[in-house]
Structure 1
Amino acid sequence: MSLSAIILLILVVFVAILVYAWTRPDTFSVQRSLTIAAPAEKLFAFINDFNRWPDWSPYEHRDPNMKRTIGGASNGKGATYAWEGNKNVGKGRMEILDTQPPSLITIKLDFEQPFEAHNVAELTLQPVAGGTNVTWAMRGPASFMTKLIGSFMNMDKMVGKDFEAGLAKLKDAVKS
């Protein structure tokens, strides 16, 4: 195979990847659920208070030196939580946009590093037989770079795995 044929092949593959990324959806969503043997009110108290996030968030222990700043009240509408840490946690800010005790917490997520992104997370609590079904969902716009990265890495699997770990930690935290 000649050098020009190899270059042409590489160019065709590169263009194909760009076209594939361009055709991906302009938004993304990730969602996981777990039924926890606890009342919604108890679970709501853990989720709605940023001071309690170290007890259950899967992101809290990825950097033991992570700087955390809770602004104003630690819970309820308007509470903020900013973090800055190593490459595993990056830098960003969360703000509780809305709460509907004991069934819904809506959080605005602003990631600054390692990449900029602006998403919304919702934690929904639904009483069921034997406890509460907790659903952790995140949605947001998919920039071209997000689509390009998503062509090689499955966002649902990556973030979904974190949500599953967080829900399992929440289950353990409410037991203690």
Structure 2
Amino acid sequence: MKILKKVLWSIVILIGVLVIAMFAIGKKYHFETSIVINAPIEKVYEQASSSKKFNEWNPWMSLDPNLKLTYSGNQGQVGDEYCWDGNDDVGQGCHVITALVPNQKIATKMMFKKPFESDATSDVVLTKEGNTTKVVWNMDCELDYPMNLMKLMMDYQMEDSYGKGLKKLKELSEK
């Protein structure tokens, strides 16, 4: 009986800690990482400013060899969109360009449908640094309770994914 009480109290305390953590962490999530590319800003912008070019270095494209993509809108213009439908690793959703500032910024919105519904915004910001281009890739979203507890592990996963994408962008831009 004493062991059962200790187990129950442990469960109650764990749940209490998780609830407190859930509210302390908050819902907003921001991630960003960067890389310096030895290429002119115009060349890097060309690789990032259309859905089809973006998908050449998009780190999630390689996670499903049978990924279905549909494109709409005019490539390289606001409204340029692609939607994807894939396995459990990539899920389902759409990605649309919402703003373009030539050779400076590509702003997008992502609408995830599976494995769960959510929205996020993402920017690719380019800055000329001498003969190189600094690329900052960021993402902002809001995670509902209790999904916001995922934030504790997201930075590692995001750095891995975004890092792979930026390395591929570097390779393509430096050719």
Give me the TM-score of the superposition, normalised by structure 2. 0.94
SS across alignment from 2:59: coil
- Work out whether 1:157 is the aligned partner of 2:156: yes
Paired position in structure 2 for 1:24 = 25
CA distance in 2, matches of 1:163, 1:107: 15
Q: Secondary structure at the match of 1:9?
A: helix
Match of 1:167 in 2: 166
Asked if the contact 1:53–1:60 (Cα under 8 Å) also holds between the matched residues in 2, the reply is no
Q: How far apart, in 2, do the equivalents of 1:64 and 1:53 lie?
A: 17
Gaps of 5+ in 1: none
Query: Could you tell me how far 1:114 is from its partner in structure 2?
Result: 1.1
Contact 2:37-2:174 at 8 Å conserved across structures: no
Equivalences for residues 1-80 of structure 1 within 5 A: 1-80=2-81
Name the CA distance, whole Å, in 2 between partners of 1:25 and 1:14.
Answer: 17
CA RMSD of aligned residues (A): 1.3
Unaligned stretches of 5+ residues in structure 2: none
Letter of the structure 1 residue corresponding to residue 34 of structure 2: S
User: Paired residues, what number?
Assistant: 174
CA distance, structure 1, for counterparts of residue 149 and residue 42 of structure 2? 41
Quote the offset at 1:68 in angstroms: 0.3
Question: What secondary structure does 1:61 align onto?
Answer: helix
Q: Using structure 1 for the length normalisation, give the TM-score.
A: 0.93
Q: Deviation at 1:142?
A: 2.4
Partner Cα separation in structure 1 for residue 141 and residue 3 of structure 2: 45
Contact 2:63 2:89 in 1 (8 A): yes
Q: Which ranges of 4 or more aligned residues in structure 1 deviate by more than 4 Å?
A: none
SS of equivalent residue, structure 1 residue 78: coil
Question: In the alignment, what sits opposite 1:126?
Answer: 127
